[in-house]
Amino acid sequence: MLSSVILLVNRMLMNQIDRREALKRLSLIVGGTLSASTVSAFLSGCGSGGGGDGFVFETLTPDQQELVTAIADVIIPATDTPGARDVGVDQFIDQMLSGWMKPPEKERFLDGLSTFESSFQTDNGKAFVHASSSDQLAYMEPRDVAAVTARREGRRPLPFFGVMKELVVTGYYTSEIGASQELRHQMIFAKYDGNVELQPGGRAWSNDGS
Amino acid sequence: MEANAFNIPPSRPEYDAIVVGSGITGGFAAKELCEKGLKTLVLERGGNVVHGADYVGEHKPAWDLPFRGRGERARYKDEYAVQSTCYAFGPATEQFFVNDKKYPYRHDADKKFAWIRGYHLGGRSLTWGRQCYRWSDLDFEANARDGFGVDWPIRYKDIEPWYDYVESYVGISGQAEGLAQIPDAQFLPPMELNVVEQSMRERILSAFPERLMTIGRVAVLTREHNGRAPCHYCGPCHRGCSTGSYFSSLSATLPAALATGNLEIRTDSIVHSVMYDADSGKARGVKVIDAITRQEVEIRARVVFLCASTLGSTYILLNSKSTQFPDGLGNSSGSLGHYLMDHHYGIGSSGTMHGFDDKYTSGNRPNGTYIARYRNLDQRTKMPDFIRGYGIQGGAERTGWADVGLEPGLGADFKSRIRAPGPWKAGLGCWGETLPDYDNHIELTDEVDEWGLPVMKINCTFGDNELEMRKDMVVSTAEMLEASGATDVESNDDLENTPPGLCIHEMGTARMGRDPKTSVLNGWNQCHDVPNVFVTDGACMASSACQNPSITYMALTARAADYAVDEMKRGNI
């Protein structure tokens, strides 16, 4: 990546692209918006910026963050390995809502989250985050089954709970902890072995080579 | 490697050779011509890529990729509307695909064509599928036998030594099986079939003796080869491989060419046209538009090799108009631009395999299984409803979190179910031959792009033979899975989402043939009309067979380069 940045800077210095174009291309290389100080750090060749800033939620309010975390906790709890709460799956969900979903999808999710909570309160007389795990589980189980059925029958858009669970599962198993502590993650192998004895309790690979 | 770039004038008044394009054939042409002593200039329309350092996606785990590997969806829809339909496209590889808005092309709404390309040094040799299967005379004689297309001007015996030559350079791992329809190469040790695939091989062969499942023949090293390291099974080769473990222009041919001291590379150089000199009856060189500065420069050479990819090379010829060639250079036949083909695929069957619960795999094998064509080999295997045939790629593997995680379940039990490897699934997907059809063609429109170059229109549909073949593909893959003991066998024909082009084996449009009245190139990939112009990429193909074609393009390239240099020494060009 550094050579791409160097090449880009060289071209700009040779006046072959103007500064505005260089900034646009730089932001594509680094995959996001850049602050002025980060840009000048790049242009003066100080190496990559970033790191150390706290995550800033763009969509989920603190209450919503708590709620999605509580839901995620039920789906993938901490066991002998960390759970979805521990890998900050609320941050991943926020990123997907803010930057990846189309506006109607995001609206549908937030509406669904709100209905999830209000129905729970109607049924149980308290907020989801204050309920017992058995009450939470009892509420979620039928919604889980219905969502899987909807997915298998090709019904679209998916019910809220189907989207929610997929986000939690994806957010967890593509996190470093989920991929390498709960499952196994390895990039470099001496060979491909097509006949490995699977021990009882043996873990699946988290990366499928795609 | 450093490349000449930007607005630096050419260093020579005339090169011995210009090679247009630095992809899988351009790189090979450069190597051959340079090693034979020619002062050679490679012109690449895209920018530089530094082998290794520029493979920004290599080894990136999901958590280090935008949206955990899903990428910036809105931007992809806007800027990579076509490229993002390719399996290999994503945040770890987007640098190797063109921005579709910058490089538009046209097709009618009912004739969708997905033109998947990358404009950068190395071209699609950085992202290719690496599968390599020889043709045999079953393929070279096909046009003559059934009358579709013109007779190939060569036969297997003409190309066989060149297959040997390029394969031993490229390094192909595979298993010799003695199959006439895909002749064996000098293989590096094969990758393994896994335990389930091994069982499928035995059971399929037992039920269908002419259907042999072998390991894929792949340009990925299983041991050290010419200074390149063997594969380390990280998985997605198309992100770039800094150990050079798969063959590409950057890992192999361009470094070899540069080592001779005879090569210059000029990136960001779009070839507008080949310049024709009526007095000599030969090409003088090429006209180049600098992609960045828009300056035009003419560069002269004694011989021109067009290796700009199938549509790229034909485009250049069509755009090279003169009084003698008003319809494009070398187009006295009227066939230039026509007989475009792509393999049809996106069809096959899958199922669940049983009895291997205690078995797993280790390593991300960049390769699958292959069943060579078993239809229409001879009278005994003749099919009533279609001619020619198809090959089958596939594999078996245990599902993971992405599948098991979509099942019903919540909590510690659910988590522990996902922890274990999921069930074994096997799949067989077909790649079918497409007949040459005059109506499948490209043309230059009056619309121009940001460099003032005409925008291309592509007209291509699959025909009746392809559609009939697809019916057999479904039946035949399902029965092999059943014979393997699979349950819940499902078949899928996804033609709607698999338009021409998406296979990325587009070929034809400047076909080889015996007769200058019906073809563009002779048996040496040499333009019938212009003896010092050679076209050795997919544009040259007179038929498509069903095998992955790049190794055949490379063999034709090396053979044509050898002939061209010989002819130059004899003073014939």
Band (pLDDT 50/70/90 cuts) for residue A30 is very low
| Whole-number pLDDT of residue B9 | 72
- How far apart are the CA of A63 and the nearest CA of chain B, in angstroms? 22
Hey, is the C-beta of A164 within 8 angstroms of any chain B C-beta?
A: no
User: d(Cα B351, Cα B182) in Å, to the nearest integer?
Assistant: 27
Q: pLDDT digits over B342-379, tens only?
A: 999 999 999 999 999 999 999 999 999 999 999 999 99
Whether B233 and chain A come into contact, CB under 8 Å, resolves to: yes
Q: Which residue has the higher pLDDT, B131 or A49?
A: B131
* Mean pLDDT of the A136-152 span: 97
Residue B8's pLDDT is 65
C-alpha distances (whole Å) from B410 to each of A18, A94, A145, B288, B489 are 54, 22, 10, 62, 28
Q: How confident is the model at residue A44 (pLDDT cuts 50, 70, 90)?
A: very low
- Chain B residues with CB under 8 Å of A2 CB are 53
Rounded to whole angstroms, the Cα distance separating B352 from B397 reads 10
Q: What is the mean pLDDT of residues B317-345?
A: 98
Whether B61 sits inside 8 A of A207 (CB atoms) is: yes
Mean pLDDT calculated for residue range B415-442: 98
- Mean pLDDT across the stretch B192-198? 98
Judged by DSSP in three states, B4 sits in: strand
Percent of chain A clearing pLDDT 90 (strictly above): 72
Q: Does B365 touch chain A (CB under 8 A)?
A: yes
d(CA B507, CA B341): 5
First vs last Cα of chain A: how many Å apart?
Answer: 21
Q: Which of B195, B232, B408 sits opposite A189 (nearest CB)?
A: B232
Question: pLDDT at position A23, please?
Answer: 40
- pLDDT over threshold 90, residue B85: yes
3-state secondary structure B430-449: EEECCCCCCCCEEEEEEEEC
Average pLDDT over residues A160-172: 98
pLDDT tens string B150-191: 999 999 999 999 999 999 999 999 999 999 999 999 999 999
B1-30 tens-digit pLDDT: 444 444 567 788 899 999 999 999 999 999
Say whether A202 and B408 touch across the interface (CB within 8 A).
Answer: no
Is residue B53 predicted with pLDDT exceeding 70?
yes
How many whole angstroms separate alpha carbon A197 and alpha carbon A203?
12
User: B110 exposed, middle or buried (CB, 10 Å; 0-12, 13-18, 19+)?
Assistant: exposed
Residue B447 has pLDDT above 60, yes or no: yes
Residue A50 predicted with pLDDT over 60: no
Q: What is d(CA B536, CA B24) in angstroms, rounded to the nearest whole number? A: 10
Mutation target vs B (from A2, A9, A176, A208; most B CBs, 10 A cutoff): A208
pLDDT digits (tens, 9 = 90+) for B375-404: 999 999 999 999 999 999 999 999 999 999
User: pLDDT-derived band of residue A21, with 50, 70 and 90 as boundaries?
Assistant: very low
Residue A137, min C-alpha distance to chain B (Å): 8
A-B Cβ pairs (cutoff 8 Å, strict): 182
Q: Does position A11 have pLDDT exceeding 90, yes or no?
A: no
Confidence of residue A29 (pLDDT cuts 50, 70, 90): very low
pLDDT at res. B43: 98
Whether pLDDT at A52 is above 50: no
Q: How far is B491 from chain A (nearest CA, A)?
A: 16
Which chain A residues have a beta carbon less than 8 Å from that of B48? 7
pLDDT tens digits for B477-503?
A: 999 999 999 999 999 999 999 999 999
Q: Is the minimum CB–CB distance between A20 and chain B shorter than 8 Å?
A: no
B37–chain A Cβ distance below 8 A for any pair: no
Cα–Cα dist A208/B234, whole Å? 9
Contact A13, A43 (CB under 8 A): no
pLDDT at A99 over 60: yes
* Cβ–Cβ contact B295 with A under 8 A: no
**Does the pLDDT of residue B436 top 80, yes or no?**
yes
* Residue range B205-223: mean pLDDT, rounded: 98
Contact between residue A142 and residue A162 where contact means Cβ atoms under 8 Å apart? no
Please give the Cα distance from A3 to A10 (Å, whole number): 10
- Banded model confidence at residue A112, pLDDT cuts 50, 70, 90: very high
Q: Which two tokens stand for residue B192?
A: 């393994």
Can you give B321-365 as a three-state secondary structure string? CCCCCCCCCCCCCCCCCECCECCECCEEEEEEECCCCCEEEECCC
The residue among B427, B573, B552, B571 whose CA lies nearest residue B154 is: B552
How close does chain B come to A155, measured CA to CA in Å? 15
Q: Which residues pair with B131 in a beta bridge?
A: B218
Average pLDDT over residues A70-92: 97
Q: What is the pLDDT of residue A209?
A: 65
Task: Report how far residue B429's alpha carbon sits from residue B417's, in angstroms, rounded to the nearest whole number.
Answer: 29
Task: Give chain B's mean pLDDT.
Answer: 97
Can you point out the beta strands (E) in B1-87? 15-20, 40-43
Of B399, B559, B448, B431, nearest to B504 by C-alpha is B431
Q: Is the pLDDT of residue B250 over 80?
A: yes
Mean pLDDT in residue range B533-547: 98
pTM: 0.92
Q: How far apart are CA B6 and CA B295, in angstroms?
A: 10
Give chain B positions within 8 Å (CB) of A173: 401-402, 405, 418
B70 in contact with chain A, both atoms CB, cutoff 8 A: yes
Read off the pLDDT of residues B542-569 as tens digits, 9 standing for 90 and up. Answer: 999 999 999 999 999 999 999 999 999 9
A195 and B195 within 8 Å at the Cβ level: the answer is yes
CB contact under 8 A, B421 and A198: yes
Q: What is the value of ipTM here, to two decimals?
A: 0.94
Instruction: List, in sequence order, every residue forming a beta bridge with B15; answer none if it has no partner.
Output: B301
- Whether residue B356 lies within 8 A of chain A, CB to CB, comes out as no
Question: Rounded to whole angstroms, what are the CA distances from B570 to A29, B18, B530, B535?
Answer: 50, 19, 17, 21
Q: Is the pLDDT of residue A42 over 90?
A: no
